[in-house]
A = this chain, B = another copy of it.
Amino acid sequence: MTGIPYTWEEGLVIMGIMMVMLVIAIGLSVWKKIGIAREYTYAMIRGGLQLFAAATLLYFLFEFEYWYYPIWLLLIAMALMGGYTSARRAGKMPKAYRITTPSILVGGTVVLIVLRVSGAMPFKPQFVIPLAGMVFGNAMTICSLALNRLTREFETNKPTLETMLSLGATPKEAMEEYGRMSIKAALIPNIDSLKTLGIIFIPGSMAGLLIAGTNPILAAEYQIIVYLMVIGGGIITSIMVIALSRRLLFTKAQQIAEWV
């Protein structure tokens, strides 16, 4: 009753076939000179190893009676890693982790508290860990998208920003429109998946429940609850990261920072 249609050893063979496929796709991107092949390969190997390490850890954690002591460390580690990864997407922005980490931490924590209090997340490791992973993961993605877009808008629209400052706008007023655009752009993937929910997009966790043989209607209900929470966390994170980025994009004297 695990839902997986083959044994662990057969799975390794299938994974080999998949690798060949992915090598072809990466070859395609090298050929098109997109410049992501190295990063992608690295991400893939790193991600794969991490996931197996995590799975092994989870395997023991699920059996461990006092699992709730180490779990707090795990959650904090998730937010820190998310902040660090997201900061690397902020282009030339120095010390971006100072704004990504608190944004992801706050967005994610608020959501987990609501999930716990409402009863949607029983206090058991097989609920807390996967849900926290989804919540922090989505917060990180949205944080990256928002920050990448915002720094790009600043690079492109420096003369416009300086014109606004010259006319007596504060940094907050000058960047308002760009901040809004960045938040909106970052939320696009979430809005898109929401709209096609059930039509194209059967979200991952519902897919996992279905593969494991759960009743589709119950799985859909659970998925919606999770979804609403994950998105809510994303909204909080994106608004926070844009608000916090102001003090890195501008100097105290309300000038555009030199690194832009």
Contact = CB atoms under 8 A, between A and B. Distances in A.
Interface in A3-20: 3-6, 8, 10-12, 14-15, 17-19
Interface string A206-224: 1111111111111111111
B232 A21 contact: yes
B204 A43 contact: no
A68 interface: no
Interface stretch (A78-86, A161-169, A251-259): A78-86
A244 interface: no
Contacts of A79: 200
Given A8-B221, A122-B5, A209-B211, A137 B193 contact: yes
Interface in A66-123: 77-79, 81-82, 85-86, 89, 111, 114, 118-120, 122
How many identical chains are in the complex? 2
B221 A15 contact: yes
Contacts of A118: 14, 17-18
A111 B25 CA distance: 11
Nearest to A62: B216
Interface residues of A, number: 124
Contact of A43 (B14, B17, B195): B195
A21 B199 contact: no
Contact of A239 (B29, B55, B89, B191): B29
A239 B185 CA distance: 20
B204 A207 contact: yes
Contact of A4 (B18, B191, B199, B214): B214
A81 to B, nearest CB: 5
Given A10-B119, A47-B193, A140-B200, 13 more contacts: A1-B213, A2-B218, A14-B118, A18-B229, A43-B191, A50-B196, A51-B197, A55-B198, A86-B192, A130-B211, A132-B202, A134-B207, A208-B209
